[in-house]
Amino acid sequence: MIRSFFRGLVAIATLTLLAGCSNPETPQEVAAAFWQAMAENDAGDVMEYSTLAEATAFDGYKRSWTDAVPSFGRVVIEHREATIVTRLPAEAGTEGERLELVTYLVRFQDQWLVDYDRTGEAILNPSPFSSIMGELSRLGDELSARFSSSSDDFEQQMEQLARDLEAYSEEIGREAEGAMEAFGKKLQEAMRELERSVEDALKDSEPTPEEDRVILEQAARDLDRQADELNEPTMESIASASRTVAETGERFTRLSEETLNRYREEWQQRLAEMRADADEFIEQLRL
């Protein structure tokens, strides 16, 4: 039950579409129909589900999508535009790898359509951030699940992420600096609030088992120390803070039901806020 609670924090929607849906209406359904048409090299259906105006302009984005079966991640709908994280097989010769891209959609005459040109531009002229942003997105997808499992893999991924980001040019670093600083400050405040909540639990008049007190005291110390490191956020300090959050969530799963139940709702809110800030940070880096 505890594991399912933390997994429930994951805000990414899993897109389960009915095969053979004849009248796709939602952005998710239209995206699925569009990529099915791409896989079948069907210019007519591509036109039906996208902004492509002429069959002669269909170019398949200069590659073959035959039998390509997509999987979908985060969906964002803002007024008359939508984006869906889409994962497809990578180029030939990279068996098992997945190409992560964004399917862009627009609302036109009360119907969702894939923005053919904008989606293609992202494929044909990928940003140098593409691969690392894919890693960020995957980390975001898995963050809450990591709260209820070992944080070893998460730590390794975050450390590699920090090294990879440092390897990019100074120009890219400058572009990401503002987003990094804003996210670092938000993460710091969220960690402080979580720390205060943990300390409140230690001061609770209700009896707390000694094993729980040890866990909570260590969590509070680690949150305090790591939040201090975010006074001047860097990718390393953000990576380290993320590891601390993951470790804190793992510690929560070792608390007794009695202790956890008293603070379940509040801790859920704090962790959800961190996740929302992380999603915003990822989106800013994607721009």
Structure confidence by residue, pLDDT tens digits, 101-131: 889 999 998 899 999 998 998 788 765 444 4
Q: Report the C-alpha gap between 141 and 160 in whole angstroms.
A: 17
- State the pLDDT at residue 262: 84
Residues for the chain: how many in total? 287
Under the banding of pLDDT at 50, 70 and 90, the label for residue 98 is low
**pLDDT tens-digit profile of 14-33?**
333 333 445 788 999 999 99
H/E element, 274: helix 257-286
Alpha-carbon distances of 22 from 17, 193, 262, rounded to whole Å:
12, 49, 48
Residues 194 and 270: beta-carbon distance below 8 Å:
yes
- For residue 48, pLDDT beyond 90: yes
- State the pLDDT at residue 284: 66
The listed range with the strongest mean pLDDT (89-103, 134-148, 152-166, 185-199) is: 185-199
CATH level 2 (architecture), domain 2-124: Roll (3.10)
Under the banding of pLDDT at 50, 70 and 90, the label for residue 87 is confident
Alpha-carbon distances of 218 from 77, 175, 262, rounded to whole Å:
40, 36, 19
2-124 and 130-286: same fold?
no
- State the pLDDT at residue 126: 63
Rounded to the nearest angstrom, the gap between the alpha carbon of residue 53 and the centroid of all alpha carbons in its chain is 33
**pLDDT tens-digit profile of 164-219?**
555 544 444 555 677 778 888 888 998 999 999 999 888 887 778 899 899 999 99
- What is the residue extent of each domain of the chain? 2-124, 130-286
Q: Residues 6 or more apart from 280 whose CB is under 8 A from it?
A: 183
- State the pLDDT at residue 47: 96
**pLDDT tens-digit profile of 234-281?**
777 877 787 788 778 778 888 888 888 888 888 877 877 777 777 677
> Which of the four CATH numbers 1.25.40, 2.60.40, 3.40.50, 1.20.120 does domain 130-286 have?
1.20.120
